[in-house]
Amino acid sequence: MIRTRFAPSPTGFLHVGGLRTALYAYLFAKKNQGNFLLRIEDTDKTREVAGGTQNIINTLHWADMFFDEGPEIDGPYGPYTQSQRLELYQKHAQQLIAAGHAYYCFCSAERLDAVRQAQIAAKQPPAYDRLCRKLSPEEVQIKLATSEKQVIRMKVPLTGSITFHDIIRNDVSIGYNVVDDQVIIKSDGFPTYHLAVVVDDHYMHISHVIRGEEWLPSTPKHLLLYQYFGWQAPQFAHLPLLLNPDRSKLSKRQGDVAVEDYRAKGYLKEALINFIAFLGWNPGDTREIFSLKELEQEFSLERVGSAGAVFNIEKLNWLNHQHIMRKSDEEVLSMVKPLMEQAGWDIPDDTYCLRIIKVLKERLVVLPDFITYGDYFFNAPSIFDETAVTKHWHHYTPEHIALFVERVKELTSWDVLSLEAALKATLEQTGIKMGALMAPLRITLTGFAQGVSVYELMEILGKTESLKRIAYGVETLTKQTR
């Protein structure tokens, strides 16, 4: 059975790269009728952030990526939090020592730093010099008896290489000469990632390990541990790096990297998932818009490339707009209502709001755009854009607007067609061009020269409110432009 896992550390908000790893593991499991697990790797207590685990769970649930086993979900191979599995790691570390595959290291941090600095000065790759690997059993027992601080390191072969198959990168060979004798149990008794991940993946029956490219150099260590324990290793798939547009590694220095950042900015989960899915994978054709369910049916690791994937915010914006357009007006209203409340607007009935969504939906890239573009539907302008006024307001403008107002006051039907006919009749009467009347009208109604159709705007605002705004705008701007 296919079993995949997402195994983040609770060190803060979930990175978009982490969400992609989770997504690919989730999609691969679902495509193959398998199980997707969440495992919290919290053995580095110095980096743990309060609430980090719950944030990870909340983010996955927000994205509709529900795990089959994990924290808060009972499963046959729990617990799914590493700090609750310490005895298991200690047991297996001792097994490695007994079999001669690991050893105690008593080197101080000061000595390790000195060795590292000397290697750097000699232009050698920094690595442990394996001093304690040479200790006799008697020397080890003496040091343990004196309670010297120690760690446990795995023994890596001194010569040779290892070749393994990666689903994305095909066969990969790495020489043991570049693989360090990794610490597997720290001085505080907690395991490092390298021991814990192998033990947990084995006991949780993980069939496919899907993770970022940065873990590729560590794979020989993990495969050695599988060999030392006599276990069958899972299949590996190392995902390409996420890159900034300048091809540097995606980092917070150049923009938002937390999923929470994009949620707060009004990106839809459907768009973010769609976008992240394409950061390395493609369906093999020209399709670009996918729902999560559609991705579950289409995804395959064989279509994931090895080249770095550029995080293009313009593409995310485009996808977000497309997914907003896929939503019903009622769904969009439910999403923007909290934003309207935060803006302190007096929210009329849903019917009024839905009429606004119908005319604004095409303009929305992110949800807060509704607040930006829709404010004048809820609040009459008290100030008017100076640039727009300078360009479009002339000494004859009030006279032309007055002619238009006379016509619309007589309308028995206040709708787009009637308002359009009234405006065109005014243009014929005055001989002016459309923009000479349309732009000043929009300024009086909204404060700006650009925006939705004046006809649609006036229809939604209603006759009383429209005429009230026009009258105020004409009076105010006539005084300002004298």
Q: What is the pLDDT of residue 173?
A: 96
Active-site residue 252, yes or no? yes
Domain 380-482 has CATH 3.40.50.2000: no
Dihedral (CA of 114, 115, 121, 126) sign: negative
pLDDT, position 255: 64
Domains in the chain: boundaries: 85-239, 380-482
Calculate ∠ Cα 474-477-481, nearest 5°: 135
Same fold, 85-239 and 380-482: no
Instruction: Give me the pLDDT at residue 96, please.
Output: 98
Q: Six-digit token pair at 84?
A: 């609750």
End-to-end CA distance of the chain: 80
* The two three-digit tokens of residue 338, written as one number: 């909290």
DSSP state letters, 376-435: HHHS--SS--HHHHHHH--TTHHHHHHHHHHHHHT-SS-SHHHHHHHHHHHHHHH---HH
* Bridging pattern class, strands 183-185 and 151-154: antiparallel
Are the beta carbons of 364 and 321 closer than 8 angstroms? yes
Q: What is the pLDDT of residue 481?
A: 82
Residue 346: the pLDDT is 87
Cα distance between residue 305 and residue 167, in whole Å: 10
Burial class (CB in 10 A: 0-12, 13-18, 19+), 231: middle
At residue 348, the pLDDT reads 86
**pLDDT at 46 (0 to 100):** 85
DSSP H or E stretch at residue 262: helix 259-264
Q: How far apart are CA 253 and CA 320, in angstroms?
A: 24
Q: What is the pLDDT of residue 252?
A: 62
- pLDDT tens-digit series, residues 223-262: 999 999 999 999 999 999 999 888 888 876 556 789 999 9
- pLDDT of 146 reads 87
- What number of residues does the chain have? 482
Do residues 278 and 23 lie in contact, with contact meaning Cβ atoms separated by under 8 Å? Answer: no
Between the alpha carbon of residue 110 and those of residues 107, 115, 128, 457, 462, the distances in Å are: 8, 9, 13, 72, 77
Catalytic residue among 149, 249, 252, 358: 252
Averaged confidence pLDDT in the chain: 95
Tokens of 159: 């010569």
pTM over the 0.75 mark: yes
Half-sphere exposure of 389 (CA within 13 A, CB side): 18
pLDDT value for 148 = 76
**Per-residue model confidence (pLDDT) at position 109:** 93
CATH topology of domain 85-239: Rossmann fold (3.40.50)
Give the mean pLDDT per block of 10 residues along the chain (482 residues): 97 94 98 98 89 95 97 93 96 98 96 95 94 95 88 97 97 95 95 97 98 96 98 98 90 76 96 98 96 97 95 96 98 96 90 96 97 94 94 95 96 96 95 94 95 95 97 94 79
